[in-house]
Chain A
Amino acid sequence: MLLDMYTVLRRFALARGCADSEADDLLQDLFIKVSELRGGPIANPRAYLFQMTSNLILDRRRGEMRQVRREDGWARSAFGHDLVDDPQPTPETTALDRDLLTRVEHALGAMPPRTAEILKLYRVEGLAQKAIATRLDLSLSAVEKHLQRAYKDLDALKLSWARQDLEEVAIDG
């Protein structure tokens, strides 16, 4: 099955912006990981291989991102921050963090209660979408719809925060 999947996975890796050599590396990694899977049956092996490939790519991107590091104000706030780098936040950063937290909480309050509840189960409690659907007796696609709404609200907030930060930098500079 692996050889059979090689072509589609490589195509996926290229579409995700990997260079040829990176795609080869990545699939090499994947095949080693898969050959180490001595375990039992996986419900959906083909989708699972895609998922593993996608995770490997995201892990690599995260590694690259850590090197570039902290380019926007959100990431520089205490929430994106490692305490050890700067254990004592200045009064300004604390005020900034409170502002950020307040805005996020405001956005959560503005969502339909079910939507906020599902977001919490998904991101804070770490439940899978299927598990949330079972727990709340909803269809999987209903859970997905709630999460789309919540993600888009928070994404708009994050983008406006990033823009505001850029403006402030422009004024300071």
Chain B
Amino acid sequence: MADAHHDRTRDEAIDWHLRLEHGSEDDWLSFTEWLEADPAHSRVYDSVAKAENEVDAVLRHAEFPAPMPANDTVETVDPVRRNLWPRRAAIAASLAIVGALTFQMAQPGSTYSIATGPGETREIALADGGTISLNGNSEVILDRNDTRSVELIAGEARFGVTHNATAPFSVTVGDNRLVDIGTVFNVSRDADLLRVGVAEGAVRFEGSGQSLRLGPGDVLRAQGDRIETTNTPAEAIGSWTGGTLVYDSAPMADVAADVGRAIGMRIAVDPALASRSFSGVLQTRGGAEAVRGRMGPVLGVRIEDTTGGWTLKP
């Protein structure tokens, strides 16, 4: 029952949750003491964190009151031209989802799209028990009549699929196709660059007249007709779902694309850095500014503001 005591605890949990986003060590120690004061506090805190997730899903579809005119300009939105600006993409993506939810009968055919805005991620549960984790600025097309095939239009997704020999799961990316052999794998698409990594099981890559079998730890990069495979620790594949990006001699452009997707920023790479590679780990939690602060020293680059995003410079 929601008595006064419960409400006060809930308010305190909310205050803590908001404080801890930028909490100091002292804040964390005081929070620990608050938790220890009553075992119920930890449960209320879990409930507040869970409510935040659920409310987020509605907020993404909600129309907010017009911002105060003094500090925001009115932006026109053309839902057809997406992905030009992160902000526009966010608005258009949420339009697309609202459209899919509310006006399904108006959509032709049995396919529908699920898209995320910059920095937004989404878990999609498949009817057969599989899952798709969709990274930021990404879009997949699903088919109501064929739950075993998915098309990745843009961005990145991690697939955990149940194996069924008679109905293999397939992912289409442009002209290429990936067919699972029972598995967890990660796929990203940035312009004409396709990257596939296998965490568990195996995947068959079909494209450019080739068919390749990828096993755990195998990473494939395909750009036009150029295809190369490398190897990386399997547990690093798809680790973005936990807010961590792991690299072993990765081109700077790959790192920029991944970080940009995670935090909803367009990140370009100065041509002088094109041949530089990176090995190491990057954390993408804590918002764009925190990531920026971490990324410069880790990559050994300068980060400059440029139109619509950042540019990495030597």
Partner of B32, one of A8, A128, A130, A158: A8
Contact indicator A101/B125 (Cβ below 8 Å): no
Q: Does A124 contact B (CB under 8 A)?
A: yes
Please name the residue on chain B nearest to A145 by beta carbon: B18
Residues of chain B lying within 8 A (CB to CB) of residue A127 = 287-288
Nearest chain B CB to A111's CB is how many angstroms away?
Answer: 8
Q: Which of A36, A113, A151, A163 contacts B68 (CB 8 A)?
A: A113
The answer on a CB contact under 8 Å between B32 and A12 is: yes
Q: Are A39 and B297 in contact (CB under 8 A)?
A: yes
The complex places the Cα of A154 from the Cα of B60 at a distance, in Å, of 14
Assess whether B289 is in contact with A128, with CB atoms less than 8 Å apart.
yes
What size tier do the contact residues of chain A reach?
A: 35 or more
Q: Does A173 contact B (CB under 8 A)?
A: no
* Contact A46–B124 (Cβ < 8 Å): no
Point out the residues of chain A lying under 8 angstroms from B119, CB to CB.
Answer: 125-126
Q: Which residues from A are CB-within-8-Å of B279? A: 38
Give Cα distance in the complex from A123 to B90, angstroms: 12
Which residue from chain A places its CB closest to the CB of B67 in the assembled complex?
A117
19 contacts between A and B (CB under 8 A): A8-B32, A12-B31, A38-B280, A39-B282, A40-B298, A44-B25, A47-B28, A79-B57, A80-B57, A83-B101, A101-B62, A117-B67, A124-B90, A126-B287, A128-B288, A140-B22, A148-B15, A155-B14, A155-B51
Contact B290 A128 (CB under 8 A): yes
Per-residue interface assignment for chain B, residues 289 to 314, with 1 indicating a CB less than 8 Å from any chain A CB and 0 otherwise: 11001101110000000000000000
Shortest distance from the beta carbon of A102 to any chain B beta carbon, whole Å: 9
Q: Is the CB of A113 within 8 A of B65?
A: yes
Cross-chain contact B14 with A151 (CB below 8 angstroms): yes
Cβ-defined contact, B281 with A36, below 8 A: yes
**Residue in chain A with minimal CB distance to B45:** A16
Whose C-beta in chain A lies nearest to the C-beta of B61? A101
A120–B142 CA distance with the chains assembled, in angstroms: 29
CB-contacts of A87-111 with B (<8 A): 87-89, 94, 97-98, 100-101, 104-105, 108-109, 111
Apart from A82-B123, A117-B68: 17 A-B pairs, beta carbons within 8 A? A8-B29, A11-B32, A15-B32, A16-B42, A42-B294, A43-B293, A47-B27, A62-B50, A84-B124, A116-B64, A117-B64, A126-B118, A128-B290, A147-B18, A148-B14, A154-B55, A155-B14
Q: A3-23: which have CB < 8 Å to B?
A: 8, 11-12, 15-17
What is the distance, in angstroms, from B110's C-beta to the closest C-beta of chain A?
9
Select which of B22, B56, B63, B66 is within 8 A of A123 by beta carbon. Answer: B56
Q: In B75-107, which residues have CB < 8 Å from any A CB?
A: 87, 90, 100-102, 104
Q: Given the interface contacts A83-B124, A128-B289, does A50 sit within 8 Å of B28 by beta carbon?
A: yes
Across-interface contacts of B55 in A (CB, < 8 A): 104, 123, 154-155, 158
With contacts A39-B298, A43-B293, A58-B49 known, is A104 near B58, CB below 8 A? yes
Q: Is A30 an interface residue (CB 8 A)?
A: no
Chain B residue at minimum C-beta to C-beta distance from A41:
B297
CB distance from B300 to the nearest CB of A (A): 8
* A51-B31 Cα distance, complex, nearest whole Å: 12
How far, in whole Å, are A84 and B282 apart by their CA atoms in the complex?
A: 32
- Taking a contact as CB atoms under 8 Å apart, the answer to whether B42 and A15 are in contact is yes
- A119 interface neighbour in B59, B246, B280, Cβ under 8 Å: B59
Asked if residues A104 and B25 are in contact (CB atoms below 8 Å), the reply is no
Which secondary structure characterizes the binding site on chain A?
helix
Contact B142 A37 (CB under 8 A): no
A147: chain B residues at CB < 8 Å are: 18
Contacts of B68 in A (CB 8 A): 113-114, 117
A132 → B minimal CB distance (Å): 9
CB distance from A16 to the nearest CB of B (A): 5
Q: Give the residue of B21, B52, B62, B294 whose beta carbon is less than 8 angstroms from that of A39.
A: B294
Q: When the two chains form the complex, which single residue of B100, B114, B246 contacts A36, counting CB atoms closer than 8 Å?
A: B246
Task: For the complex formed, measure the closest distance between the CB of A36 and the CB atoms of chain B, giving whole angstroms.
Answer: 5
Q: Is B58's CB under 8 angstroms from A84's CB?
A: no
Q: Which of A49-89 contact B (CB under 8 A)?
A: 50-51, 54-55, 58-59, 61-62, 65, 74-75, 78-80, 82-85, 87-89
> What A residues does B27 contact at CB under 8 A?
47
A136 within 8 A of B: yes
Determine whether A159 belongs to the interface, using a CB cutoff of 8 Å to chain B. Answer: yes
Nearest CB in chain A to that of B33: its residue: A15
> A residues within 8 A CB of B32?
8, 11-12, 15
Contact at B63–A94, with CB atoms within 8 Å?
Answer: no
A62 CB to nearest B CB, Å:
8
